[in-house]
Amino acid sequence: MKLATPDSLRLSTIVANDARVTGYSVCRARNLLAMHAHIPGEDTDFYHTEAVQNMFAVWQYMPVDEGEILTEVWQRKERVSGYTSLLVCRALSPCSTQQHECQNNL
């Protein structure tokens, strides 16, 4: 059993649902390593940070349409294999419950 260390317990933040956001990228290996909100003209150094220097890491980009927001981001870890699934739920506006979509990124 692996015990949690102070470094593994650190949280990071993203600017979600800002009107300037054009999409989100997630970096995953066995777990979610990083999530990033894309804003036009930004620096792309985040792709090479120490946190994501894992030989098995894969970046996945998810574009968003104008007015589209993230409503939920879930990660599920399979007990036996340890592999994770990521579920991203989106909506066109905060007031709309009918325009709701979830995308399961296995």
- In this predicted structure, the answer to whether residue 56 has a pLDDT above a threshold of 70 is yes
For residue range 6-40, list pLDDT tens digits in order. Answer: 555 566 778 888 889 999 998 888 778 888 999 99
- In this predicted structure, the answer to whether residue 3 has a pLDDT above a threshold of 50 is no
Question: Which of residues 7 and 63 earns the better pLDDT score?
Answer: 63
Residues 36, 28, 82, 6, Cα dihedral to 10°: -60
Distance, CA of 44 to CA of 83 (rounded, Å): 27
Question: Which of residues 2 and 37 earns the better pLDDT score?
Answer: 37
Q: How far apart are the first and last CA of the chain?
A: 25
pTM of the model: 0.71
Q: Where are the domains of the chain?
A: 7-105
- In this predicted structure, the answer to whether residue 96 has a pLDDT above a threshold of 80 is no
